[in-house]
Amino acid sequence: MAVGESVLVGNLSYLAIGRETTFGTYATATAGIAFMSAAMKSMKETKILESIQTSRTNSHFIQQGKVVEGSIEAYYSPRNLGLNYLLQNAFGGGAVTSATATGETTGGLAFSHQIDIANFLTTYSSLCLNVRKGQATTGKVFEYSGVRVNELTLKAELDEPLMMSVSVIAKDSTATANDVSSVLDTTTAAQIPLSFVNGRFSVETAPGSLTTTSYWHVQDFEFKISNNLNADTSSRRIGSDVIQVLPAGLAQFALTATIRFDTTTAFDAMMAGTRLAAEFQFEGATLTGSAVREGIKITMPYVVISDAGDPEISSAQDPLTSSVTFAVLRDPTASGYAVRASVTNLTSSYA
């Protein structure tokens, strides 16, 4: 068959995720996710060697180091194993603390899982991916090892589900015949998105005041965590074309929200440098065998407003709006943290 003669289609592809116990050593990847897009890419740039050789053209080259990176977009679902693997890794791959969900009745099956910022130093500090590009039989399967989340974004908008997008960096990739479609877990079909209707965005003067009944009337918001992974030449060695380590730099956070401008509350807090706390939460359906709803909650106990988003008066028709930008810091108390995720589902443990 000639190159380009046939066709592979995206809608019959799959993406499965697993957790590695050793960085760069591929493990089982069967946690399938329903995704909007997956752009995993392997590159080996060519360096043309310029030399004088009685010609105006060059005839020698070497290949440079292998670069493996990509991005994934999906509607977030608290019950999906693969998406929670990505969430855990974006937070530094640390241990997940699991317990019976708050409000659960005796014999109920719901659990809450607490994820704090970690240092990529624990058992599950990297992921592996198995991706089929195209349909069964003729589709091409690729395995990616030593995968870490460089950036993760959770975004909420009116008339849309909660969206998760991640950018990843990997140690290596390989084309393979290991099609795992027959053993993908069944949670993909139950990956129910979280509607904007069941979300809230709260800002208060203290973490203890963050409640489900107190919230800002925002039209959209976006939370982003950046791990600043270092995949440059300092992470490589002579004798190999792939990175050997993938250390994380300082974790950085971004939080923005759009709100109708009807008060100077944000402006006053910005000018005074007032310490605030922020939290957003999305809930889904009541879990089977439980009195509790599935969901996700992200808590930031120490934020300050760095831009109150003074509205621009540019239209005779549109309401005035502010785009408020928050700086997210670590609570400096003994047990303080910068960001904490709490996921509620029917999974008993992520140990």
Q: What average pLDDT does this structure show over 332-339?
A: 92
- Quick check: 199 pLDDT over 90? yes
- Quick check: 343 pLDDT over 70? yes
pLDDT of residue 188: 64
Considering the chain, what is the average pLDDT of its residues? 95
pLDDT of residue 6: 80
Q: Strand, helix or coil at 156?
A: strand
What distance in Å separates the CA atoms of residue 265 and residue 256, rounded to the nearest whole number? 15
CA–chain centroid gap for 205, Å, is: 28
Of the listed ranges 77-86, 160-169, 312-321, the one predicted with least confidence: 312-321
Residue with tokens 């969430």: 87
pLDDT digits (tens, 9 = 90+) for 267-321: 999 999 999 999 999 999 999 999 999 999 999 999 999 999 999 998 889 999 9
Select from 203, 236, 237, 206 the least CA-distant residue to 218: 203
Query: Which residues, at least 6 apart from 45, have a Cβ–Cβ distance to it below 8 Å?
Result: 63, 64, 67
Handedness of CA 175, 176, 181, 187 (dihedral sign): negative
What distance in Å separates the CA atoms of residue 27 and residue 36, rounded to the nearest whole number? 24
Q: What average pLDDT does this structure show over 193-206?
A: 96
- Quick check: 237 pLDDT over 80? yes
Q: Where do runs of H (alpha helix) occur along 75-135? A: 81-90
Whether the Cβ atoms of residue 176 and residue 24 lie closer than 8 Å to each other = no
- pLDDT tier at 5, thresholds 50, 70, 90: confident
β-bridge mates for residue 126, sequence order = 20
Amino acid, single-letter form, for residue 337 = Y
pLDDT of residue 187: 58
What distance in Å separates the CA atoms of residue 74 and residue 85, rounded to the nearest whole number? 13
pLDDT of residue 141: 96
